Amino acid sequence: MKTVQVNVVTPDGPVYDAEVEMVSAKAQSGELGILPGHIPMVAPLAIGAVRLKKGSSTELVAVSGGFLEVRPDKVTILAQAAEKAENIDVARAKAAKERAERRLRKKTDDIDFKRAQLALQRAINRLNVANHKY
């Protein structure tokens, strides 16, 4: 089976580096599936899970936006934030989700609505990845 090298990098450093058979990611334009030999491209990523398939197993990485760069033999994901499923602090993600929901319920003028919505999306994404709900 052919493979492609995948690197997931954040401003804090590398998060993932391995050979995989397929990469699935949520771009802003829709879901992307990338196999070895894919044509070169660059796409902005949405908040979502990156699924990395190797044999019968699939690893998940929660990504909070960024860019995906594809070359025939390599996929690089430059993410604002990224965490492998097993590294997600579920209690912290639940607390962030509850905080964002409280902010959104307040609906006062001093609440940055868009920022609170994004915080909620990031928290839900991290919880879904940690619980393998993708």
Adjacent-strand bridge partners of 76: 7, 69
Residue 134's pLDDT is what?
A: 64
- Domain ranges (residues) in the chain: 4-85, 90-130
Give the number of other CB atoms < 10 A from CB of residue 13: 6
- Mean pLDDT, range 4-33, rounded to an integer: 95
Same topology, domains 4-85 and 90-130? Answer is: no
Placement of tokens 């868009």 in the chain: 114
Given a cut of 90, is residue 109 above it in pLDDT? no
User: pLDDT band at residue 105, thresholds of 50, 70 and 90?
Assistant: confident
Residue 110's pLDDT is what?
A: 63
How is domain 90-130 classified at the CATH fold level? 1.20.5
DSSP string for 38-73: PPPEEEEEEEEEEEEEETTEEEEEEEEEEEEEEETT
Q: Tell me which architecture the domain covering 4-85 has in CATH.
A: Sandwich (2.60)
Output the CA angle 45-29-55, nearest 5 degrees: 65
- Mean pLDDT, range 99-123, rounded to an integer: 82
Higher pLDDT, 78 or 108: 78
Residue 54's pLDDT is what?
A: 93
Residue 51's pLDDT is what?
A: 96
Tens digit of each residue's pLDDT (9 = 90 or more) over 36-81: 999 999 999 999 999 999 999 999 999 998 999 999 999 999 999 9
User: pLDDT band at residue 11, thresholds of 50, 70 and 90?
Assistant: very high
Mean pLDDT rounded to a whole number for the chain: 91
